[in-house]
Amino acid sequence: MQSATIEQYRPEIAAGVAELIYAAFRNYEGLRLNLTSTPLWEMKPETLAERLTDEAISLDASFVAMLAGRPVSAVIARTEGEATSWWCIATDPGFQRRGLASACLGAAEDALRASGAETAKPTEVVDSRWRSACGFLERAGYVVEQPEQDSITMQLDMNSWLPREVRVAPGYEIVSIGEEDLEGWTACRNQVFNTDVPVQWFRDHFMSRHDFDFAGWHAAKREGRVVGIAGAQIIRDEREPDTVLGCMIEYVAVMQEHRRQGLAEALVVACLNHAKALNAQPLMLITQPFRVPAVRLYEKLGFKEIAEQRRYVKPL
């Protein structure tokens, strides 16, 4: 039987590598961590080929296993800023369990080591339900970087959700936000999450989406000032906008001085009522286990943890 050779990736074989990635990931279609992003298994070969030829691909640290002139396994690295990480590790289903991905990864790690890098890691988080990926990385010496800091994905069965009245303490109100509320929304986000994003971040991150609608985004206000926020980002098919694919609950936050007023629960209830009216399923959110009050609130409303988002790293 002819043996595969491990070679440095080159853009000329992008189409072939795109086909093997598509074949390798297509079985994971139902594995979604974040409905607002597009996972590899939802990218068509032509889209993957475009990504494989952009300027971010690190040719020095990307390797493929070639058999009879055909790429059958690959480790593709991308560089953002000064960091290089593994964007994709894939093997054609017909060539698995031959050690090809391990050989490609070993060559890629050697290249990173030679460049002076001290660690190697995947670009994205890894879903804990994806046992084969977790097992592969762990056998290769990768460990979860900070388990206590990793995010978790929670999901609510919308069939069990019965719309309810949105109740708030006297002096507060829950409203759908508009363009005029973005400055207050941003100020609340920055205070609660200790960030410093500008108003334009919301426009770029959410309003640029084809399916953005202010109707799903809510704020708690007191005397006209935004003191709490939450969003129900309804995900729609880009080609068929009337088709709802699900919902992500985004950025639930209440300013410190306005907590213990039931505002977080009221905000989430408003989001869930909106999602229910559109029959948005699945309905998911991402949080961190150390945010104990938030996790308890979501569990109270019916959410269940379905996956950990593991951030793997390996010292070189």
Give yes or no on whether 5-124 and 152-309 have one common fold: yes
pLDDT at site 32: 57
CATH number of the domain located at residue range(s) 152-309 in this protein: 3.40.630.30
Q: Are 255 and 118 in contact (CB under 8 A)?
A: no
Delimit the domains of the chain by residue range. Answer: 5-124, 152-309
- Nearest 5°: CA angle at 76, between 74 and 79? 170
Return the number of other C-beta atoms located less than 10 Å from residue 223's C-beta.
8
* CA distances from residue 36 to 33, 158, 256 in whole angstroms, order as listed: 9, 18, 28
pLDDT at site 81: 85
CA–CA gap between residue 160 and residue 272 (Å, rounded): 11
Tokens of 316: 């070189």
Q: Are 311 and 152 in contact (CB under 8 A)?
A: no
CATH fold of 5-124, please? Aminopeptidase (3.40.630)
Please list the pLDDT of the chain residue by residue as tens digits (316 residues).
568 899 999 999 999 999 999 888 877 655 555 555 566 656 788 888 898 999 999 999 999 999 999 999 999 999 988 899 999 999 999 999 999 999 999 999 999 999 999 999 999 888 888 888 899 999 999 999 887 778 899 999 999 999 999 999 999 999 999 999 999 999 999 999 999 999 999 999 999 999 999 999 999 999 999 999 999 999 998 889 899 989 999 999 999 999 999 999 999 999 999 999 999 999 999 998 888 999 999 999 999 999 888 999 999 9
